[in-house]
Structure formats: structure tokens, C-alpha cells
Structure 1
Amino acid sequence: MAESLVPHFVNDIGVGRIKIGVKEFQCMGASPPQDHPHVYLDMGSDNEIVCPYCSTLYVYDVALAPAESDPKGCVYVATAPAGAPAA
């Protein structure tokens, strides 16, 4: 399976603001199964955007890599369910 080119972010820790290193991404709200509909967000020429589902404020930070967040741990990484066959 191909890896997604659009990073997914979650706010499991419930902070009001998350700094990220991309301007186009998907917000999931929280990790499954508590996630909200995965919404694609594009900051365009702005440097911040609010998720319409969970109200998390995402702020673009040029110092962060696409797979980084501040606070750490807000980048969602999918894992195979237990007992799933290896790819």
C-alpha cells in the first residue's frame, strides 16, 4: 500500500494550538476510534487555520518538517491491526 502524501494530525492531548510543518493536511481530531470525519485543510497564503470539527488551531511553522508537530505526538501514523497480514 502506498503511503499517504498528505500528513494526518490528531489532537489526542487536547491542546488549543498545534504547530505543524505543512500548509496542506488532514485533521482527524483524535486517533481512531474517537476520530471525527477526516477533513482536508489548506492554509493557502495564511499561516494558520481552525479545524471546523474539533476547533484545533493549526499554525504553520517553517522550522518544522512535514512529519513534525509542536507539541510532539500530534502526527498520526497508521498501524496495522493485530493479526493483520504483513505487506
Structure 2
Amino acid sequence: MAQHYTPHFHNQPGVAQIRIGAKEFMCIGALPPFDHPHVYLDMGAGSEAICPYCSTHYVYDAALRGGADPAECVYRISEDTAA
């Protein structure tokens, strides 16, 4: 069985827009412990999504291949358990 990971992104820096290399992803708002409920977003055929909790504007960019611009907006689950 193949494993599938849904990328997680946050907007700790408070930027107006985050370009991401995924159309299906989770928005967590800010970094824990100030995160909001982790929401699954799917852009479908579109190329933009706005988080209903924090209003972060996400724009799809295939060149980022799962990453983000700014790069620090990628959330790695292990960060939460590293403390």
C-alpha cells in the first residue's frame, strides 16, 4: 500500500499570499501552539484557495513541487514533536 502525505502550510510570517506546489493541502494558520484547527483544502481545477479560518491566500505553483514560497511556510509535522 502506498503512503500518501498531505503537505501542511502555515502563515507564521503573516504574508499576504503563499505560493505552494500542491493543490491538496492542510492549512494550520500559525505555528503551534497558536495554530488553528488543521483544515484540508482542495483547489480542484482552480489555482487558488483561501483558508476559511485565517484567510491566508494560497496560489498553486507547480514549479514548487510540494514546497512553498516563502519556504518557511512549509510545516513539518516533526517540528511539533521536536520540543
Structure 2: distance between partners of 1:4 and 1:13: 27
Where does the alignment leave 5 or more consecutive residues of structure 1 unmatched? 83-87
Partner in structure 1 of residue 54 of structure 2: 54
Q: CA deviation at 1:81?
A: 4.0
Query: Larger helix proportion, structure 1 or 2?
Result: 2
Find the residue that maps to 1:29 and give its secondary structure: coil
State the secondary structure of the residue aligned to 1:15: coil
Gaps of 5+ in 2: none
Counterpart-to-counterpart distance in 2, 1:12 and 1:4: 25
Q: Which residue of 1 aligns with 2:73?
A: 74
Query: Could you tell me which amino acid in structure 1 is paired with residue 44 of structure 2?
Result: G
> Under a length normalisation based on structure 2, what TM-score does the superposition of the two structures give?
0.88
**Secondary structure of residue in 2 paired with 1:40:** strand
Over the residues paired in the alignment, what is the CA RMSD in angstroms?
1.4
Helix, strand or coil at the partner of 2:77:
coil
Q: Which runs of 4+ in 1 moved over 2 A?
A: 78-82
Q: Which moved more, 1:48-57 or 1:4-13?
A: 4-13
| TM-score normalised by structure 1 residue count | 0.85
The structure number with the bigger radius of gyration is 1
Q: Matched residues, percent identical?
A: 58
- The aligned amino acid for 1:76 is Y
